[in-house]
């Protein structure tokens, strides 16, 4: 993909970037390694002060960075502002908690002293997606840099200005040059960088295809990898749920970021006895959503990020309808410039149709009906994905069964699936492996070294 800023609202190409040459990449890797030699010896106070400063810079310039995201990938501006605020939160969280997460752990053994210590690995490559152009990067870099690693970012090709802005925020905050570098490279260039012995580990957030490619290269090189991949999260509503509240949350859960969120609720699995009411309320709420210019503060749904995403979702919806799916609202592309797709609800989803098995990365809700919890869980677990799930019930026995049996990395009960710096985040099955955020996220990119002394 060409590295360029193309406004998804009107298709206008605003800036094209030339990918780095091999020699330029080589210089950046050399800088990463030499910087690491000094940076790994800096104190947590040194790193923490700079991360707090980073939070401050983000907040002071939140409108500017939010606008950059909206122009590059079409996120409604109010959500973009919220994303910048969340980045500041994750910076502060790690600045304040790194000490606790990295404190050596003393363990009684036959030694006079034995303990576990957490040491940085070196240069970590982060391959990141466009859907949360700032958040995805900050949730990686905050723990990684606090742990003493240095970061190399290969961002998605459609958000190059966000990638460069992040590097400049960190430099302005006082991080030494080379601690965090953006590599403007295309995806075929990733392999060489990852195979380079100066790069010690990799984290990728993106599609299953990209994840498999990067993980297999990392595997051949015996380098640690963390993968945050796609999802088709179930949103299960049982007969004792608060339906008004569930539908209200259902709209946000599906529509946030124009429907392009890995942990969006994508499959709504409804108990037969409440399904009619849920459907009716959801359709009403979908009617009220405002589609339009993502820079306008009232806009709920902006354009999809690229023409390819529009093409994919259009194909998935029409194939599902062709196979027998029923449209409750939307379902037709909008004749307009920009990559707009209307809020859509599909029901009667046929077995083996895209609606049953694929991830829908756009504003399309897929509705299913079941007779009981058992059927709901079977349906929830029936895809290759296992990222998040939400279940709506007050029954304690149902909750216990859901916690035990739903195959996901995060289960939210009577609430929206969301990431929170205090809680580990990640998936199972084809949604990836490893965790980000919290202590677990920080421990992914450290050498957990055991020390034993007689
Ligand atoms: P993508 O095409 O996989 O792109 C993600 C990143 O990987 C981009 O930087 C892309 O670069 C790069 N890339 C693509 N193919 C590659 C390859 N073969 N080798 C190395 N790098 C490669 O994903 P996307 O369509 O942008 O993002 C949407 C997907 O990400 C969805 O499936 C979504 O669910 C998932 N996602 C998951 C999480 C999570 O936390 N689990 C969060 C957000 C998104 P180019 O742009 O240059 O191609």
Structure tokens at 167: 């590097």
Q: Which of these is catalytic: 162, 262, 359, 444?
A: 262
Angle between helices 44-60 and 62-73 (to 10 degrees): 70
CB atoms near residue 434 (< 10 Å) = 19
pLDDT at 337: 76
Cα dist from 22 to 3, 160, 186, 449, whole Å: 16, 18, 12, 34
pLDDT at 187: 98
278 and 324 inside one domain? yes
CA–centroid distance, residue 131 to ligand 1 (Å): 9
Rounded to an integer, the average pLDDT of 49-56 is 98
215 and 239 inside one domain? no
For the Cβ of 157 lying below 6 angstroms from any atom of ligand 1, the answer is yes
306 and 338 inside one domain? yes
Q: Is residue 425 part of a domain?
A: no
Q: Is residue 34 part of a domain?
A: yes
Q: How far apart are CA 212 and CA 434, in angstroms?
A: 14
CA–centroid distance, residue 423 to ligand 1 (Å): 23
Q: How far apart are CA 97 and CA 94, in angstroms?
A: 5
Say whether pLDDT at 92 is over 90.
Answer: yes
pLDDT at 101: 98
238 and 137 inside one domain? no
169 and 205 inside one domain? yes
300 and 365 inside one domain? yes
Q: How far apart are CA 39 and CA 55, in angstroms?
A: 20
224 and 298 inside one domain? no
Q: How far apart are CA 226 and CA 384, in angstroms?
A: 18
Q: Which of these is catalytic: 83, 167, 228, 359?
A: 228
Strand partners, 123: 150, 199
Rounded to an integer, the average pLDDT of 288-295 is 96
Mutation pick for ligand 1 pocket among 6, 128, 210, 223 (CB with most ligand atoms within 8 Å): 210
For the Cβ of 367 lying below 6 angstroms from any atom of ligand 1, the answer is no
CA–centroid distance, residue 309 to ligand 1 (Å): 12
pLDDT at 333: 86
273 and 416 inside one domain? yes
Edge-first strand order for the sheet with 388-392 is 326-329, 344-347, 364-370, 265-271, 233-237, 388-392, 410-413
Number of domains in the chain: 2
Where does the pLDDT of residue 334 fall: very low under 50, low under 70, confident under 90, or very high at 90 and above?
confident
Mutation pick for ligand 1 pocket among 157, 187, 231, 361 (CB with most ligand atoms within 8 Å): 187
Say whether pLDDT at 336 is over 80.
Answer: no
Edge-first strand order for the sheet with 224-228 is 180-182, 150-154, 123-127, 199-205, 224-228, 432-433
Mutation pick for ligand 1 pocket among 129, 266, 425 (CB with most ligand atoms within 8 Å): 129
Where does the pLDDT of residue 83 fall: very low under 50, low under 70, confident under 90, or very high at 90 and above?
very high
59-69 pLDDT per residue, tens: 999 999 999 99
347 and 204 inside one domain? no
pLDDT at 226: 98
CA–centroid distance, residue 187 to ligand 1 (Å): 10
Rounded to an integer, the average pLDDT of 234-246 is 97
Sequence-distant (6+) residues with CB within 8 A of 216 are: none
273 and 151 inside one domain? no
Where does the pLDDT of residue 312 fall: very low under 50, low under 70, confident under 90, or very high at 90 and above?
very high
82 and 192 inside one domain? yes
Determine the atom of ligand 1 nearest the C-alpha atom of 155.
Answer: 9
CA–centroid distance, residue 114 to ligand 1 (Å): 42
Q: Is residue 362 part of a domain?
A: yes
Sequence-distant (6+) residues with CB within 8 A of 188 are: none
Total count of residues recorded for the chain: 454
> Would you call 228 a catalytic residue per the annotation?
yes
Q: Is residue 71 part of a domain?
A: yes
259 and 272 inside one domain? yes
Task: Find the CATH number of the domain harbouring 404.
Answer: 3.40.309.10
355-392 pLDDT per residue, tens: 999 999 999 999 999 999 999 999 999 999 999 999 99
Q: Is residue 444 part of a domain?
A: yes
Q: How far apart are CA 226 and CA 446, in angstroms?
A: 13
Task: Find the CATH number of the domain harbouring 115.
Answer: 3.40.605.10
Q: Is residue 166 part of a domain?
A: yes
Q: Is residue 86 part of a domain?
A: yes
Domain containing 138 equals 3-229+431-453
For the Cβ of 207 lying below 6 angstroms from any atom of ligand 1, the answer is yes
Say whether pLDDT at 335 is over 90.
Answer: no
């Amino acid at each position: 993909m060409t590295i360029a800023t193309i406004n998804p609202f009107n298709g206008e190409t605003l800036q094209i970037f030339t990918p780095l040459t091999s020699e330029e990449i080589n210089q950046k890797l050399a800088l990463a390694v030499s910087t690491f030699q000094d940076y790994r010896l800096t104190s947590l106070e040194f790193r923490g002060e700079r991360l707090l400063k980073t939070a401050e810079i983000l907040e002071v310039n939140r409108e500017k960075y939010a606008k950059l995201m909206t122009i590059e990938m079409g996120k409604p501006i109010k959500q973009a502002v919220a994303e910048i605020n969340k980045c500041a939160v994750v910076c502060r969280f790690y600045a304040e908690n790194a000490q606790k997460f990295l404190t050596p752990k003393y363990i009684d053994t036959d030694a006079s002293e034995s303990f576990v210590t957490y040491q940085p690995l070196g240069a970590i490559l982060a391959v990141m997606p466009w859907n949360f152009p700032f958040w995805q990067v900050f949730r990686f870099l905050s723990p990684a840099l606090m742990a003493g690693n240095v970061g190399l970012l290969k961002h998605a090709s459609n958000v190059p200005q966000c990638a460069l802005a992040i590097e400049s925020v960190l430099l302005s905050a006082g991080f030494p040059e080379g601690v965090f570098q953006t590599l403007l490279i295309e995806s075929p260039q990733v392999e060489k960088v990852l195979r380079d012995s100066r790069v010690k580990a990799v984290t990728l957030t993106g599609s299953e295809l990209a994840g498999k490619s990067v993980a297999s290269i990392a595997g051949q090189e015996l380098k640690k990898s963390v993968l945050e991949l796609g999802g088709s999260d179930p949103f299960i509503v049982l007969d004792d749920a608060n339906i008004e509240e569930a539908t209200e949350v259902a709209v946000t859960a599906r529509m946030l970021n124009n429907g392009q969120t890995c942990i969006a609720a994508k499959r709504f699995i409804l108990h037969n006895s409440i399904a009619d009411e849920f459907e009716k309320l959801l359709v009403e709420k979908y009617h009220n959503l405002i589609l339009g210019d993502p820079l306008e503060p009232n806009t709920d749904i902006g354009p999809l990020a690229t023409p390819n995403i529009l093409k994919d979702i259009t194909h998935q919806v029409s194939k599902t309808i062709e196979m027998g799916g029923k449209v409750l609202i939307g379902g037709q592309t909008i004749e307009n410039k920009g990559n707009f797709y209307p809020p859509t609800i599909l029901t009667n989803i046929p077995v083996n149709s895209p609606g049953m098995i694929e991830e829908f990365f756009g504003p399309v809700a897929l509705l299913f009906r079941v007779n009981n919890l058992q059927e709901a869980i079977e349906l929830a677990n029936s895809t290759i994905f296992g990222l998040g799930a939400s279940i709506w019930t007050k029954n304690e026995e149902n909750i216990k069964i859901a916690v035990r049996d739903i195959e996901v990395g995060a289960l939210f009960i009577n609430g929206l699936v969301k990431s929170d710096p205090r809680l580990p985040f990640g998936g199972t099955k084809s949604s990836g492996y490893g965790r980000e955020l919290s202590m677990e996220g920080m421990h992914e990119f450290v050498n957990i070294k055991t020390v034993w002394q007689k």
